[in-house]
Amino acid sequence: MATQRLLLVDDNEDNRMLVKFALESQTDWKILTAADGIEGIAKAEQEQPDVILLDLVMPDLNGLTVCEILKSNIFTCTIPIIFSRLRFMPRCWLN
């Protein structure tokens, strides 16, 4: 069976690092990341992930707008999307 792929779209680098580490250490999923909605749309089209974990609050394009774009695109409309609003401690607290 092929490795499942999750696309994590979040503008916060700490969130991306922590979620990627947590999921990769606990699952056999490959975690792809995008730092904003525009990059997320491009990666979804290019990589065709099995699921997208999408932050709701981002600059430029918020999660709802990104979802609308993905669901109206023939190449990405069937990809399941999970909305998130991750809030982790700043990196300096983790050291």
Which tens digits make up the pLDDT trace of 29-82? 999 999 999 999 999 999 999 999 999 999 889 999 999 999 999 999 999 999
What is the extent of the structural domain holding 42?
Answer: 5-87
- Picking from 92, 68, 93, the residue whose alpha carbon sits closest to that of residue 81 is 68
Report residue 95's pLDDT band, with 50, 70 and 90 as the boundaries: very low
How many domains does the chain fold into? Answer: 1
Do the domain assignments include residue 39?
yes
Residue 92 domain-assigned (yes or no): no
Confidence category of residue 89, pLDDT binned at 50, 70, 90: low
In this structure, are residues 3 and 28 in contact, taking their beta carbons and an 8 Å threshold?
Answer: yes
Report pLDDT for 65.
Answer: 96
Is residue 93 situated within a structural domain?
no
